[in-house]
Chain A
């Protein structure tokens, strides 16, 4: 197991290196002078020159990268050119709502996906299965911002059950906090649920066709015990895989969801930084998100080894 962990971690290093180079190059992809892109035309030339010097843009590219990388390795992700605060502090302030949103969305997706997925597979080709397929089609084709607006329209505007924007920390005010996160989490969660449900259904169907299921049935084990005791356990690996793959979706979805519901999370920070043309902040946050994404994928990879011992041996 330790060998697997080490192997995977070493394999991540060149990718991290390329990712950092890509993020570094972002600022140089701007058509024309990045300083002109960041600041209004009317800004004094002296101020622009100071910023250029501060960001090191007056030096050769290779030197800029070496300097930037040196800072990153020391944990300095740069600072916002708007509020002059380090990127880390900007993210630190925003990470809480994002993590809460992601956790709640994930929980909702599992609660929705598992019963539907299991029932769809157990009652394959029944009208219930058809309804499940319809649900997953809906979840996959429905853009998340549109779903968010539909939810706002029905539960916020028409029924007035839930708040349509703003954030309260659930750890400080549990009820108000959960209410403020409810619609965003449902928006994100339903989309995830569709994908998880579909994967669970097909991996369960595959497991249901195995010999050990026939043996269990022949022994007289009840159908629900066959499903709970044999099929579900073996059907979980593809579900873990797809949940890992959906992390990217979750992050991307969070960007849009936080934007629509005015949640002060990291996703909203990215959008705000992009609009403010605060490139150092964009670079810092995007790098952090990418590293977080890579690390989460690494954890998912290692989870397989834990769930399925056969993977460890390979």
Chain B
């Protein structure tokens, strides 16, 4: 859930069950339906994510009004044909702000996870491949980062780095780095003892070559799965920080800050909160479906 910004996603790992054929017929029917539902959820998730990406890229074309233009003569207006999601307390069009907010959410989610992925993977590679002191130093550092409740760490870093997108990106990438570092280290440790790595070493391949040509490509699947599941939580985390006033600053449209601004008008104009709230929830659900599908496709052990 929201708080758990380091959560590994909606990754339900149901244990291997006895073969489906052993199940009674009624149960088998449900299993089939369940699988079908899961299979259907992936395209739904992909469609949601695609829609969000399109909204982010085409925001200037799609949004019916300027997201920053105030109209003090038409504040807290109910949803109608001109303003499908109503207007906020200074008369700005909520729909346009939700569409523009998609940009910030997606950029924050994808960029912070990419930064964490690169930093974490390099650190994990270093720790796993070279071992020894590098390993214990890197892993203790990662343990230290994990010793902070994620949101508190992001808040503290956001506080010193200053509010704004850059501060949020750095704070979130620090929060997510240990997950990638640990994962990569584990992968490297298991891959480096395999025969093909031994063979490459026997052929005289350098450490960098082995890391780049053999270890990284083989560890990529697990890293991609982790990244897929992390993006949703990074988006939630950005929204949380912006909601607290430490992320994206008004008047720029960010879902979290819009929700915070609207909470004072919950009674008169709940649409100010519900518009961006629904966008945030649907995007996170969609990303979770995609993350789950990625895991099912790339990690056969997790399939059931």
Residues of A within 8 A of B (CB): 14-16, 18-19, 21-23, 26-27, 29-31, 37, 124-126, 129-130, 133, 136-137, 139-147, 149-150, 152-153, 157, 188, 191-192, 194-195, 198, 202, 205-206, 209, 246-253, 255-256, 259-260, 270-271, 274-275, 277, 279, 282, 286, 289-290, 293-294
* Contact A202 B280, CB 8 Å, known A142-B1, A251-B152, A252-B152: no
* Interface membership of B209, Cβ < 8 A: no
Q: Is the CB of A30 within 8 A of B160?
A: yes
Determine the chain B residues whose CB is within 8 A of the CB of A248 once the complex forms: 3-4, 6, 148-151
Q: Is the CB of B270 within 8 A of A153?
A: yes
Q: A133-B12, A143-B243, A205-B15 are in contact. List 13 more A-B contacts (CB 8 A).
A: A14-B140, A22-B144, A26-B156, A29-B161, A125-B31, A126-B30, A145-B259, A194-B1, A205-B14, A206-B15, A251-B152, A274-B156, A289-B149
Q: Is the CB of A191 within 8 A of B1?
A: yes
Q: Is the CB of B5 within 8 A of A252?
A: yes
* Interface membership of B240, Cβ < 8 A: yes
The distance in angstroms between the C-alpha atoms of A23 and B33, with both chains bound, is 51
Q: Is the CB of A202 within 8 A of B31?
A: no
Task: Please report which residues of chain B, range 242-266, place their CB below 8 angstroms from some CB of chain A when the two chains form the complex.
Answer: 243-246, 256, 259-260, 263, 266
Q: Is the CB of B4 within 8 A of A256?
A: no
- In the complex, the chain A residue whose C-beta lies closest to that of B154 is A252
Q: Which of B27, B239, B245, B270 interacts with A143 by CB under 8 Å?
A: B239
* Interface membership of B162, Cβ < 8 A: yes
Determine the chain A residues whose CB is within 8 A of the CB of B34 once the complex forms: 125, 130
Q: Which of A27, A29, A191, A294 interacts with B2 by CB under 8 Å?
A: A191
- For B148, B263, B273, the residue with the greatest tally of chain A CB atoms inside 10 Å of its CB is B148
CB distance from B20 to the nearest CB of A (A): 10
* Contact A137 B2, CB 8 Å, known A26-B156, A260-B263, A270-B155: no
* Interface membership of B193, Cβ < 8 A: no
Q: Is the CB of A294 within 8 A of B147?
A: yes
Question: In the complex, which range does the number of interface residues on chain B fall in?
Answer: 35 or more
Q: Which of B17, B27, B244 interacts with A271 by CB under 8 Å?
A: B244
Determine the chain B residues whose CB is within 8 A of the CB of A277 once the complex forms: 159
The distance in angstroms between the C-alpha atoms of A22 and B69, with both chains bound, is 43
Determine the chain A residues whose CB is within 8 A of the CB of B16 once the complex forms: 209
Task: Please report which residues of chain B, range 5-52, place their CB below 8 angstroms from some CB of chain A when the two chains form the complex.
Answer: 5-7, 10, 12-18, 27, 30-31, 33-34
Q: Is the CB of A149 within 8 A of B1?
A: no
Determine the chain A residues whose CB is within 8 A of the CB of B5 once the complex forms: 252
Determine the chain A residues whose CB is within 8 A of the CB of B152 once the complex forms: 251-252, 255, 270, 286, 289-290
Task: Please report which residues of chain B, range 278-293, place their CB below 8 angstroms from some CB of chain A when the two chains form the complex.
Answer: 280-281, 284-285, 288
Determine the chain B residues whose CB is within 8 A of the CB of A260 once the complex forms: 263
- In the complex, the chain A residue whose C-beta lies closest to that of B263 is A149
Q: Is the CB of B285 within 8 A of A137?
A: yes
